[in-house]
Chains A and B, each alone.
Chain A
Amino acid sequence: MSEDSKNKATFNVPIGPVHPALKEPILFTFKMDGELVEEVDFAPGKCHRGIEWMGMRRNPVQIVHLTDRICGICGVSHSLAFARAVEQIAEIEVPERAHYVRTIIAEYERLQSHLLWAGVAAHELGFDTLFFLAWRVREESMDVIEYLTGNRVNYGIVQVGGVRRDFTEDQFPRIEASLQYYEDIAAKLLKLFLEDKTIQIRCKQCGVMSKREALELCTVGPTARASGVAMDVRSDSPYAAYGDLDIAPVLPHHYLGLTNGDVYDRIVVRLLEVVQSVDLIRQCLANMPPGEVLWEKKYPKILAACKKATGEAVGRVEAPRGECLHYVRMDGNPSPQTWKVKASTYSNQLSWLKMLKGEQIADIPIVVASIDPCMSCTDRVAVVRDDRTDILTKADLHRLSVEKTRRLAQWS
């Protein structure tokens, strides 16, 4: 193919915003040379929901449950990041046990998120069997999450100042059973995903990003780790109970002996993180201190504390897709003056341009999926004027941020 494709004229293939390969809306435009991608451009912003706008009209106790809905998969990461920001501003001391509960739920979320991704990746490769298998295995963590929090998807467990539900001793056997299940099945999953020749020929040396590029593009999470960047908020600046746990970033060379930074390495990292999460939950269960799980049980007091608070803070959390960051600024009103969400995909999406160039059409879906994109978390702005979307250049963005900083400085 590559020989005769030289004389073929290039043509454009649009992919998105609605396309079977994309699970979320985004528009890619590919300039193709035969089967090869010559140039890529993408336009996010198809899924803006104005959650921040809603939040700035609500108090932190309300927002914390809105944050659960920023992302359908990694909701607790967002609520955790937001709660941490507010707790810092209001100087709320979170009880020790609550930290452990938060960690356990966050790790269960990582489990289900990575398994979900593994299934989607298999589907993008046309390997639906593994898709069904991964999602079936994932169901166990969803069941445990439902058992612990009362809901499968929107856990609603984090509260400003702690968590809303404690785990009791009689719940531990169910948790233990699920951990055992994952320990038993991990080897099989690794074998099915990593030793399969068809997956190997599709994923090895495909969508490669070197360590240097990963650093330059400011990628985060498993995407960065798969390129050999030892970076993980959980171990770099521990929050919740991670400081007490034995944790190190998962890197592909732990399994393969070397790092290629390709799609295959991203599968390796995520699957190994499933194993790591099981271990972390075990550690949490063993070390969980007794005590309260919420700093203050009376809601009027929490509301009052949030209202009194002034200042700004950033809450950082290692979401399953990478660092998730919430900036909150409170000025003595019930609702925050500013609330800004940076989801992990925001940092990762630019790596697409690098990864996709020179790949075949066939690899587009898996390469796009390999950073585990979540557009609805990422889309924070959509400028639509007179039925046309504006494209903001670097200079525009710089000007806008300077203006906004000035505005914020004036307010306080």
Chain B
Amino acid sequence: MVMMLGMDPISIIGGTVAVALFGILAGLVFMGVERKFAAHMQARIGPPIRQPFRDVAKLLSKDSIVPENAIPLLFNMAPVLALASSIVILLYIPLGGFLPVLAGYGDLILVMYLLTVPALALVAGGFASGSPYATVGSQREMVTMMSYELPLAIAVIAIAWRLAAAGIADPFSLATIAGTATGITIWSVAGPLGIIGFVLLLIVLAWVTPAELSRVPCDTPEAETELCGGLLVEYSGRNLGLFYLAQGVKTVAMAALAVALFLPWNISWYVALSPNAALVADFAFFLLKLMVVIFFSVSVIRVGMARFRITHVVSIYWGYLGGLGLLGLLCVVLDASLGGGGML
């Protein structure tokens, strides 16, 4: 079941507000849940799930301190930019049975670009802080960004290309990829080889997520024990609270992107439901999928290993994950040219 939010300005604004609220709320809830996951994996009880809400409330109620040798304008703008751009990403990603708010205005390639904006905001904020820790953190963030772009791009392009090869119109649109309207997914167009390829690409995307979100093992830009928080070291109060929110929204966006690309199924495709019940069921299922994605690509990875050096980030993402991505792409290409299975 699909609900179009329409394209008139009013519903776009309404949709944007709704998505922003959803992104912020879900971001905080998922961060709380994620902390619980991590805690239980480490044999701890961990903080209550509402802890991120308390943290943000406390941060927002505190003064923001601008360091003496910071560039105030840039320093104060960076967190706003980070949060805003994180929300904008969400506007292009289908959320359960809902089509993206801005479905007609951009596609996957745009999302890829948008994903770099919060990171760039962090970098700008870090350089503007005027602290050596933040500077090193910003340099590292840029390097990290460049490292994960390649595997991410490979994964995205492989999918769109396979859909195009299967003769589907508008393959770069996320709504098409998620099959929200058509019920056609990458898994149904691909043959066995293509499925192997997509599994490889799924692994690649699962590994890009921690880098995108600056979590262990790729939290080098923040690296508490090395840089005491790196590019966030000088941030406090409201500004830090905004970054915190942005981090939550970004987590949801990354997970939603993974869901849209690789786990697009909706309950309403298989069970006949009334339109409204279908929306609710699909959305609940979507949240469940987000949780699963976050569990594996954020919690398990960050709890299960040590932090990389920045040089490792480069070599692992360009070398191993880039290689894995290309292998996946090769499988997908072979699959398409051999005319493997599929319903079209």
Contact = CB atoms under 8 A, between A and B. Distances in A.
Q: Do chains A and B touch in the complex (CB under 8 A)?
A: yes
B129 to A, nearest CB: 14
Nearest to A21: B225
A19 B136 CA distance: 16
A198 interface: yes
A203 to B, nearest CB: 9
B41 A129 contact: yes
Given A21-B226, A362-B220, A365-B226, A125 B311 contact: no
Interface in A115-133: 122-129, 132-133
Contact of B217 (A1, A19, A126, A361): A126
B62 interface: no
A128 B42 contact: yes
B291 interface: no
Interface string A329-364: 000000000000000000000000000000011111
A125 B223 CA distance: 9
Given A126-B306, A201-B312, A362 B217 contact: no
A197 B306 CA distance: 9
Contacts of B139: 34-35
Interface string B194-234: 00000000000000000000001101100111111000000
Interface centre among B43, B133, B305, B312, by most A CB within 10 Å? B305
Nearest to B315: A201
A180 interface: no
Nearest to A125: B306
Interface string B62-81: 00000000000000000000
Q: What range describes how many residues of B lie at the interface?
A: 20 to 34
B308 A198 contact: yes
Contacts, number: 87
A133 B43 contact: yes
Interface in A183-207: 196-199, 201-202
Contact of B43 (A2, A122, A132, A364): A132
B223 A126 contact: yes
B36 to A, nearest CB: 15
Interface in B232-269: none
A124 B308 contact: no
Contacts of A125: 306-307
Contacts of A136: 43
A123 B306 CA distance: 9
Contact of B226 (A11, A34, A198, A361): A361
B314 interface: yes
Interface of A: 1-2, 11-14, 19-21, 32, 34-35, 122-129, 132-133, 136, 196-199, 201-202, 360-365
Interface of B: 41-44, 132-133, 135-136, 139, 143, 216-217, 219-220, 223-228, 303-312, 314
21 contacts: A1-B143, A11-B132, A11-B135, A14-B132, A20-B224, A20-B228, A21-B225, A34-B139, A35-B310, A125-B306, A126-B224, A127-B307, A128-B303, A196-B305, A196-B306, A198-B307, A361-B136, A361-B226, A362-B223, A362-B310, A365-B225
